[in-house]
Amino acid sequence: MFFNFRIVTVEVEDLECSDRKKALSSFFTMVALDKKGKTSLLPNLILNTLKEIVAFDEGKKDMNSIKQKENKEQMT
């Protein structure tokens, strides 16, 4: 299966003073489907800036940590 991860962040705003707070953050998984509903290839990711490279590397580390945690939970 070919997929892509995005982090979605939801903020809440106090309407009286306009303060914003992070309410939650979550991984959002997108799967590419063809016209028949089967998974299809995604184009290669192109990282153009240092900020994009750092964000991508952090995402890979987070994904690996989640996988390791899931594997440990399955073993117990």
Beta carbons within 10 angstroms of residue 32's beta carbon: 14
Q: Is pTM beyond 0.75 here?
A: no
How many angstroms separate the most distant Cα atoms in the chain? 50
pLDDT of residue 46: 92
pLDDT of residue 3: 55
| Regions of the chain with pLDDT less than 70 | 1-5
- What long-range pairs does 45-54 form, CB within 8 A, spacing at least 24? none
- What long-range pairs does 5-11 form, CB within 8 A, spacing at least 24? 5/29, 5/30, 5/59, 5/63, 6/30, 7/59
pLDDT of residue 41: 83
Tell me, what amino acid is at 29?
Answer: T
pLDDT of residue 50: 97
pLDDT of residue 1: 47
